[in-house]
Amino acid sequence: MKKIRPLAAVAVGLVATSGLAACGGGDSGGGTKGAGYNAAVDKVINASDTKGGELRLAISDDFDSPDPGNTYYAWSQNFVRLYGRGLLTFKPSAGPDSNQVIPDLAEGPGQTPDNGKTWTYKLRSGVKYDDGTPVTSKDVKYAVERSNFSDELQLGPKYFKAYLQDNSTPYKGPYKDKSPEGLKSIETPDDNTITFKLAKPFAEFDYLVAMAQSIPVPQARDTGLKYEQKMASSGPYKVDSYERGKSMILSRNPNWDKSTDPIRKALPDKITLQLKQSGDDIDNRLLAGSLDVDAAGVGVQAGTQGKLLTDQTKKANTDNPLQGYLRFASLNLHVKPLDNVHCRRAVQYATDKVAMQSAYGGPLAGGDVATTILPPGIVGYQKFDKYPQTYKQGGGLDDKTLQAAKSELQQCGQPNGFKTKIAGRSDRPKEIAMAQAMQQGLKQVGIQTDIVQYPAGDYFNKYVGAPEFVHKNGVGIMLMAWSADWPTGYGFLSQILDGRAIKPSGGNNLPEEDNPAINKAFDDAIGNTDKDARAKIYGQIDQMAMDDAVDIPIIYAKALLYRPSNLANVGISQGYGGMYDYLNLGVKK
C-alpha cells in the first residue's frame, strides 16, 4: 500500500476546509432577488403591511440598559421604540427625511411662546400601557426626573438636567425627593399636557424629547435599577423577558391601539433579540437566512465584506451608508509647536488622508475622505475644503501639496519640521494603522512623530481627554471618532469645539479650542428658533474651526450593512446614525 505523505495530506485537508468555509452562507436570506446595492440608503424598500411572523435580531454586545431612561447607545435608542413611545421620535424613513423628528406620544411638535425657553407638548388621548392603565403627562415628567436627576440611573444622557431650570434647592430626583411637585420646571397642568421650562433658550429641544428618556414610566411600576427587568410598555410590543447577556423577547402589547399611533406598523407577531453573539456567526446567519437583522448597525465583519462584494446577488442586498461619524485627528493648541496655527496647517496639508482611509478599511468599510468637521447628513453641513490636497498617480501626496505644507512650516518657524506624538487607542488596531499611515505622510515634510497607544477604556478619562496629561506628555496629535447625539450642528459640534466643554478629564474638546467667536456662535444658534438660520451658523462654526486648523477631518465613516431579502420596510435612518430604522421592520414569508 502506497503511503500518504503527511504534508500532502495536510495540504489537501486545508484546501478542502477553506473551500467549505467559502461555502458558508446560503441563499441571501429568503431566496428572492435583492433590491440593489445602496437601495435602502435613500428610500424605504420592500414596503409591506403584511402582519405576522417573527423578526429575529442579534448583536455581539448587550444593551447598556434596555431601560429607556438609562440608555445611550444609538441602536438601543432605535430599538426601545418598539416597546416605548416618547413625545417625539425620528421619522421612520430613509435619507434626509429620516433626520426629521415627528410627533409620537405627543400630538404635535413642541410649542414655544418665548423663543425656545418654554416648551409645551399635548399628549395623544387613549394611549395605554400593557396593563391597560392610561398614559399621562405625569408619567413623562416622572420619566425625565428619574433618568436625569437620580443617583442610580447614570448611563443615559443628562441633557434635561443641563437645560431645565432647577428648584431653588437643587432637585435630587424622585427617589430622594418625595415632594408631590418634584422638579418644578416640568409642569403637568392636566393629564395630557406637559410644559418644560428651561434655564435659557434652547431651540433644539424637540430633539431632546425625541430621545428615549421621554418614554413614560408610571411611578407605581418603577423599580429603579431593576426596572429593566420588568418595564411598562406604551408601544406596540411588550417585553416578555430580558436576560442580560442572553436575549430579549417581545410580543404584542394587547393594549396598544393603532388609532393612537399613526407612525408604527407593528408587523411581526414576535420579536427576538439575541445578545452577545459572535460577530462572524451573526454574518453567517444573516447570509443563511436564519437571522434578519444585526442590531448593532455598524456593518458586517471584515471577513464577510469580500464575500458580499464579489457576489452580485449578495451585493444587491447590501447598503453602504454614512454612519454620521467623523474620524479625525485633533491638534492640541497648548503643545508646542502646534500652538502656532501655521504648524497646525502644515499638518493639515501633510496628512495623507487616502492612506489613512485605506488603513481603516478603504472607502466601503472605512468611509469617504473628509474635508469638514460636520459630516454630510448633519443639519448645517456645508461642503468646503480649506486645505486642498492632490495625490500622485500611484498614491501619496503630490509635490504641490507637500510644498504647501512646507510653506506653512516656514511661516511657523520650523522649516525643517518638528517632533510630536500621535495618540491612538491600543485596542483598536485600525486606529493604530491610521496613526502609522499618518506618521508616514508627515515624515515627508520633516514632521517626526512617535505613536503612543492608550487603552480605549481610559482614553478620554485619563489620557487625551485630560489636558494636564496631554500638556505634560507633549501629545500633539490625537486620533478619535465622534458622532452626534442628535443630527444637527449643535448636537455634533458643541462637545468638541465649544470652549465651555473643556474638562479636567473625560472631555471631548481635545484641541482645547476656546475661540470666543465660536463660543458665541453656539449661543447665537441655539437661541434661534429659525432652523435655517441655525444651520447657516453651524456651517460657519465648521469654517472657523477649520481656519484655526484644530481638527483634521480624515474620514466620514461608512459601513457595509446586509439586509436579507425577506426583510420588509427597510430604510437607513440618518437620525440613528446610519443603521436600519427598526420601528416598522417586518418579515415577508
Partner 1 sequence: MPRIVFAYLIRRVIGAVLMLVIVSMVVFGIFFGIPKIAGQSNDQLAASFVGKAPTAEAIAQTKHRLNLDKPIWVQYGKWVKGVVIGQDFNNGPSVEHCSSPCFGYSFKNNQAVLPQLEDRAPATLSLAAGAAVIWLISGVSVGVLSALKRGSVWDRAAMIVALGGVSLPIYFTGLLALAIFSYKLDLLPGGGSYVPFSQNPGTWFQSLILPWITLAFLYAATYARLTRAGMLETLGEDYIRTARAKGLPERTVITKHALRSTLTPILTIFGMDLGLLLGGAVLTEHTFGIAGLGQLSIDGITGNDLPVVLGVTLVAALFIVVANLIVDLLYAVIDPRVRLG
Query: Nearest 5°: phi and psi at 274?
Result: -90, 135
The smaller minimum CB distance to partner 1, of residues 155 and 263, is found at 155
Binding part of the chain for partner 1, among 41-49, 121-129, 205-213, 499-507 by CB under 8 A, reads 499-507
Which of 195, 358, 508, 529 is in the footprint of partner 1 by CB under 8 A? 508
Find the binding residues for partner 1 in span 31-60 (CB under 8 A).
58
Q: Which runs of consecutive H residues, i.e. helices, occur in 463-507?
A: 467-473, 489-497
Residues 64-93 that bind partner 1 (CB under 8 A): 64-65, 72
Identity of the residue, 158 or 334, whose beta carbon is nearer to partner 1 in the bound complex? 158
Each residue 426-445 as x (binds partner 1 by CB under 8 A) or -, in order, gives --------------------
Among 146, 314, 406, 425, contact with partner 1 (rule: CB under 8 A): 146
- Alpha carbon distances (Å) from 72 to 29, 64, 88: 31, 7, 17
Binding residues among 219-258 for partner 1 as defined by CB under 8 A: 222-226, 243-246
Minimum CB–partner distance for residue 50 and partner 1 (Å):
26
Q: Which amino acid is at 267?
A: L
Q: Please report whether residue 495 would count as binding partner 1 according to CB under 8 A.
A: yes
Query: How far is the C-alpha of 61 from the C-alpha of 466, rounded, in Å?
Result: 28
The site for partner 1, by CB under 8 A, has a size of 64
**Choice between 150 and 414, CB closer to partner 1:** 150
Could you tell me whether strands 270-274 and 54-58 are parallel, antiparallel, or unpaired per DSSP bridges? Answer: parallel
Residues in contact with partner 1, shown as a per-residue x/- string from 171 to 200 under the rule CB under 8 A: ---xx-------------------------
Closest by CA position to 497, among listed 527, 477, 468, 519: 519
- What distances in angstroms separate CA 349 from CA 150, 266, 393, 418, 553, one per listed residue? 48, 51, 18, 15, 11
Phi-psi region of 278 (alpha: psi -120 to 50; beta: other; left: phi over 0): beta
Among 43, 270, 471, 503, binds partner 1 (CB under 8 A): 503
Give me the least distance between CB of 301 and partner 1, in Å please.
11
What is the chain's alpha carbon radius of gyration, rounded to the nearest angstrom? Answer: 26
**Nearest-5° Cα angle at 9, 6 to 10:** 90
β-bridge mates for residue 57, sequence order: 273, 293
- Note whether 379 and 99 are within 8 A (CB): yes
List 11, 15, 17, 302, residue binding partner 1 (CB under 8 A) = 17
- CB nearer partner 1, residue 31 or residue 457: 457
Full DSSP string of 328-353: EEEE-TTSTTTTSHHHHHHHHHH--H
Report the relative pairing of strands 54-58 and 293-294 from DSSP bridges.
parallel
Shortest Å, Cβ 341 to partner 1: 27
Q: Would you count residue 457 as binding partner 1 (CB under 8 A)? A: yes
Binding site for partner 1 (CB under 8 A): 1, 3-4, 6, 9-10, 13, 17, 20-21, 23-26, 58, 62, 64-65, 72, 146, 150-158, 174-175, 222-226, 243-246, 274, 276-278, 280-282, 284-285, 287-288, 290, 457-458, 461-462, 485, 495, 503-508
